[in-house]
Amino acid sequence: MIPVQRLPATKRLVQLCDSRTQNIQKMGASGKAARSEWRLADAAKSEIRTLLEKMAPGVLRCMYCLDSLGTDIDHFEPLSRAPLRTFCWHNHLLACSRCNSNYKREEYPCDQETGECLLIDPSVDDPSDHLELRVTIGEYEGKTRKGEESIRVFGLNREDLAQGRFDAYITSCDVLNAWHRKVRRGDLEGAAYSAAALRREPFGDVLHALEKLGGLPYATAALGDELAESLAAWLRASA
C-alpha cells in the first residue's frame, strides 16, 4: 500500500450524494435503504469512479493490493455499518474485485476502547507508518496493530502478491540502474521513458519502499553500490 491523495469532490458529486443521503435518511437510515439507493445511483457512482480513477496509483491500480486493476468502488466503512456514509466521498476507495469481494468484504475492525478503525485508509494514513515491506521477499510486516489488521483483512501477504512484489523488486532494480546509465550518458529522453514506465508498473509499493531505503544512511550497505547510486540520483531528480 502507498499513500493516495484524495481529490476534492466536484460540486455535481456533492449535490448527487447529498440527495441520495437524504433519501436514505427518509427511509430510516437502514442498510437495506442504503443498498437500494446505491443500486440506483448511476450518476453518482459515475462521478465517484471518475475521481477515484484519477487518484489511482499506476494505471488504475487497486488501492489495496496495487496489483490488479481497480474495478470496484469500495465503501471503506461498510454501508451495512454506516448507511449514512454510503455516499460520503471520503468513504470511497478504488479496489479490485478480489480484494473487495474475497478479502475486505464487510470487515471493519475497530479498537474496543477507542473505537478507532484498525484498517489503513491510504487516502488518510501513510501506510509506511504501519507497514514495512521486505522488498527482497515481497512480504509485509506489521509495525502497529493497524498494520497487522490491514495485512489480515486485505490479504496483503497472499502468495501471488508476495511473488508479484518480488518480481517487481527485480524489475525496479534493473530499470533504476538502466535509468541512471541513460542519465549519465545524457540520454534524457530515454531516461524519461524509463522513469514513466517504472511509475506505471503494478506494485508501486516496491518502488516506494526502495525510495525510502535509498534515503537512509545505510543504503549502500543494504542495496549495493550501483543501486544505491541510482536511487540517490533518482531521489535528487524527483525532489
- C-alpha cell, 132: 514495512
Return the residue matching grid coordinates 449535490. Answer: 15
pLDDT for residue 237 is more than 90: yes
pLDDT of residue 132: 96
Mean pLDDT of all residues belonging to the chain: 95
pLDDT > 90? residue 37: yes
Other CB atoms within 10 A of residue 37 CB: 21
Mean pLDDT, rounded, for 153-166: 97
Q: pLDDT of 52-108, one tens digit each?
A: 999 999 899 999 999 999 999 999 999 999 999 999 999 999 999 999 999 999 999
Given a contact cutoff of 8 angstroms between Cβ atoms, the answer to whether 26 and 35 are in contact is no
Once rounded to an integer, what is the mean pLDDT over residues 160-176?
96
Q: Cell numbers for 175, please give them.
A: 530499470
Q: Which amino acid is at 98?
A: R
Answer yes or no: is pLDDT of 51 > 90. Answer: yes
pLDDT at residue 73 in the model: 97
Task: Give the mean pLDDT of 155-175.
Answer: 96
Residue where the block lists cell 493497524:
146
Task: Tell me: pLDDT of 35 over 90.
Answer: yes
pLDDT of residue 10: 95
Q: How far is residue 30 CA from its own chain's centroid?
A: 29
Query: Which of 50, 41, 53, 49 has its CA nearest to residue 16?
Result: 41
Distance separating alpha carbons of residues 128 and 201, to the nearest angstrom? 19
Structure confidence by residue, pLDDT tens digits, 116-141: 999 999 999 999 999 999 999 999 99
Flag whether pLDDT at 235 surpasses 90. Answer: yes
What are the tens digits of pLDDT across the range 15-30?
999 999 999 999 999 9
In degrees and rounded to multiples of 5, residue 118 shows phi and psi of: -105, 25
- What pLDDT sits at residue 58? 87
- Residue 34 corresponds to which cell in the numbers above? 442504503
Do 181 and 172 touch, CB atoms closer than 8 A? no
Residue percentage of the chain with pLDDT more than 70: 100
171, amino acid identity: T
Are 38 and 86 in contact, with CB atoms under 8 Å apart? yes
Asked if the model's pLDDT at residue 239 lies above 90, the reply is no
DSSP per-residue codes, the chain: ----PPPPPPHHHHHHHHHHHHHHHHTTS-HHHHHHHHHH-HHHHHHHHHHHHHH-STTTB-TTTSSSB--EEEESS-TTT-GGGTT-GGGEEEE-HHIIIIIITT---B-TTT--B-S--TTTS-GGGTEEEETTTTEEEESSHHHHHHHHHHTTT-HHHHHHHHHHHHHHHHHHHHHHHHHHTT-HHHHHHHHHHHHHSS-HHHHHHHHHHHTSTTHHHHH-HHHHHHHHHHHHHH-
